[in-house]
A and B are shown apart, each in its own frame.
Chain A
Amino acid sequence: MSRLLVCPPDFFGIEYEINPWMRLTNRVDHGRAARQWHELMRVLEKDLGVVLERMTPIVGLPDLVFTANAGIVVGQTAVVSRFRYPERQREEAHFENWFRRHGYEVMTGEAGLHFEGAGDLLGFPEYWFGGYRQRSDIRVFPILSEQFHREIIPLELVDSRFYHLDTCFCPLSGGELLYFPAAFDNYGQAAIAERVPDKLRLTVPEDEALKFACNAVCVGKHVVLPTGCPTTQAWLRIRGYETHPVQLDEFMKSGGSAKCLTLALD
Chain B
Amino acid sequence: MNYYQESVYLQGHIIDSLVLAKVLDLILMMGGTFDLEDVHIGKTREEPSHARIRIRTASRALLDDILRKIQPHGASIEREADCRTDRAPAEGVLPDDFYATTHLPTQIRLNGRWLDVDRIEMDLAITVNEAGSVAQAVPMGEVRQGDQIVVGREGVRVIPLQRPQERDVFGFMESQVSAERPHGHIIADIATRMRQLRERHRQKQADSHVLLSGGPAIIHAGGREALTWLIEQGFVHILFCGNALAAHDMEADLFGTSLGYGLTAGRAVPHGHEHHLRTINRIRSIGSIEAAVTSGVIKQGIMAACVRQGVPVVISGTIRDDGPLPGVITDSVLAQHAMRALIPDVGLALLVASTLHSVATGNLLPATVPTVCVDVNPSVPTKLADRGSFQAVGLVMDAASFLSELARLLGRSI
Contacts and interface: CB of A to CB of B under 8 A. Distances in A.
Contact of A151 (B45, B72, B73, B74): B45
Interface residues of A, number: 25
Interface stretch (B11-19, B211-219, B379-387): B11-19
A109 to B, nearest CB: 15
Contacts of A194: 16
Contacts of A152: 12-13
B74 A138 contact: yes
B48 interface: yes
Contacts of A251: none
A187 B48 contact: no
A127 B18 CA distance: 16
Nearest to A145: B48
Contacts of B12: 138-139, 141-142, 145, 152, 154
Interface string A117-141: 0000000001100001100001101
A122 to B, nearest CB: 15
Nearest to B76: A139
Contacts of A185: 22
Nearest to A194: B16
B46 interface: yes
Contact of A145 (B13, B19, B74): B13
A188 B13 CA distance: 13
A190 B48 CA distance: 19
A138 B48 contact: no
A3 to B, nearest CB: 26
A156 B46 contact: no
B46 A133 contact: no
Interface in B64-94: 72-74, 76
A139 B8 CA distance: 13
A217 interface: no
A110 interface: no
A153 interface: yes
Contacts of A127: 45
Interface in B10-36: 11-14, 16-19, 21-22
B74 A154 contact: yes
B86 to A, nearest CB: 37
Given A127-B45, A142-B12, A187-B22, A154 B72 contact: no
Interface string A152-164: 1111100000000
B76 A142 contact: no
Given A138-B72, A139-B74, A191 B46 contact: no
A153 B73 contact: no
A153 to B, nearest CB: 4
A185 B72 CA distance: 14
Contacts of B46: 145, 149-151
A195 interface: yes
Given A133-B72, A138-B12, A154 B19 contact: yes
Given A145-B48, A150-B46, A132 B13 contact: no
B18 A187 contact: yes
Contacts of B22: 156, 185, 187
Contacts of B13: 141-142, 145, 151-154
B210 to A, nearest CB: 50
Interface string B379-411: 000000000000000000000000000000000
B74 A155 contact: no
Given A149-B46, A150-B46, A187 B19 contact: yes
Contact of B16 (A139, A150, A153): A153
Nearest to A185: B22
A139 B13 CA distance: 11
Interface of A: 126-127, 132-133, 138-139, 141-142, 145-146, 149-156, 185, 187-188, 190-191, 194-195
Given A156-B73, A187-B18, 15 more contacts: A126-B45, A127-B45, A142-B12, A145-B12, A145-B13, A145-B48, A151-B13, A151-B45, A152-B13, A153-B13, A154-B74, A185-B22, A187-B17, A187-B19, A187-B21
The 5 closest A-B pairs by CB, nearest first: A142-B12, A187-B18, A138-B74, A153-B17, A151-B45
